[in-house]
Structure 1
Amino acid sequence: MLTLSYSPQMLAYFSLDILIALVLLIIMRWVYTLWTQVDSTDELSGKDNFAFGVSVASSLLALSIVIWSAAEQASSDDYLTQSMQMFIYGIGGIILIKIGRWAHDKVILKRFNKRQQILEGNVSIGLVDGANTIATAIIVRSVMLWTEGFTIYSGIAVLSGFFVAQTVMLVITRLMERRFAQDNQDDSMQDVLVRGQVALAVQHGGNLLGVAFAVSAASKLLVYYPQAYISNLINWLFIALLFTLLTIVLGWLAKKVVLKGIDLVREVDHQHNVGVASIEMALTVGVAMLVLGLVS
């Protein structure tokens, strides 16, 4: 016989947590509207801007991942305090997602105006923006669950993990740009994305998500020392780069085996084959999740 342990007070605070989550999602959409400086309702239902919808959806999903982590991490025995912790982590998640989007715009993909491209309906840019946002949230989640308690030290640890995430994604993006230039007569990957190459966007998005799971593996190996700020940061960065490299190598092997006989450069870069790019993405993310599972 199934027996559930609950009380009216627990149900009341459970309802409060749901309300907080809904409020945070509303705030996330409001913040996104501020970033784009347009009427989001008109973009979504009036202009049917698919790229805009993908970007908004990724922001909401990323925030949901952070809220999910905050709900799991809430450490107090007091339900009201747990709800406040979830709200504060949620606001912090919104800020980090916004900063991550800014870093992606100004540092990682700096050759074009991402906001303008999304408003013009560039699906490729919307997909890459979405992948970057969700990848950042996945890494922030792993750091939040790695920390202990609700203190200034855990906040610093989350910021350190966020910095590591942006650093590794910058490195991976530059490596992919270099590979693309070598295979395409020095053409720019960013310029091709601006031209609307969806297959390349799917491939690159898979790499970013794979990086997120690879970086998350560091939380399974490192011991959390609250006051060891520098060593936490250095260790996270070292392990993250190590597992990212491992994921790239294993992903390359998986593609060689599963997609044997298929010229990936020709299919994705030249013929814009979204189907092949989707398989590449699945293999990259799948290998990264396997690595994460093996070290858990």
Structure 2
Amino acid sequence: MLTVNQTKNALLDGASIEEEPYTSPQDSDEFFESLDKPAKEPTKLEPRNTFIRAGVLTTVRGSAYMEYGNTKVLAIVAPPKELLRASARRMNMGVLNCYVNFAAFASGDLDSVTERERHLSGMLTKAMEPVVCRTEFLNFQLDIRVLILDDDGCLLSTAINCCGVALVECGISTYDLVTASTACIYRDHVFLNPSAKIEELARKHRRGSNAVQEHGLIITASMDTFEQIALCKQYGYLSIVTYIKLLDYTLAVNKSLRQLVRGVLTKRVKEQHELDLREKAESALEDQRLEEIIEKLKKQGPEEFIQSNIREDPYVKRQ
């Protein structure tokens, strides 16, 4: 039987809001009335305007950058490293650690940054563990680091998408491509890919007078090939019917994102293949040039070859 439990809002506690926008239920009502409200039943299950780039950093093997609307995330994956003997434990799979950090300019509330980073790191680790083939690097540790450059909602789902691309770029074995999205409900209106202020509105709603009314959000990370869910995070008061409805919405958005991610990775492979061909051609030309020099050395001898390649400096006057 499907059960819905109310949990602490670890994700929304990490939303980057410059200042407290809702100090009273009246402020929440005024902001909600000013919104361009979507239909109660969304017809277009599509992601935000999205930009993804793999291999943005040349100093690391796996990296990716993603813009999901105004939310900007950078992910870095380092190759697995062997665990120290003191910390190594008998286990049948490797260790995966995710670390989330906010850029200094990405958050207005510096007092809660550490707590927000800790919560997001834990949830990102839970989302990525079912994706990575950890049985292939026993007694090794894989670190994924995420830098939040800007947060305008859908922060956790954007980080999951970005990390999935970075893992493939790094060459880490995964069971499938992972994609994630967020859906929010407030006063019977469903917000797909909500902004940070709408997420905050759902959190502040519990303090108002209509606390019994359905409100909250759901974040879903899925692997479509095997029809598996890597992570499903729910916050707020949702009935079972509403929960399943929002889950279906997020899974539909995930499928659209999957096609986008596949296109980005396919383009990256083609670019890398063209780069390899160019490097091979340049290497072949260099080998040919060296062969010509060796042939001249054999025919002329070292001294004659050196004398034939000496050029006078045109700026030096002869005496």
Q: TM-score, normalised by structure 1?
A: 0.31
Q: Which has the higher strand share?
A: 2
Q: TM-score, normalised by structure 2?
A: 0.29
Larger RCO, structures 1/2 (Cα 8 Å, 6+ apart): 2
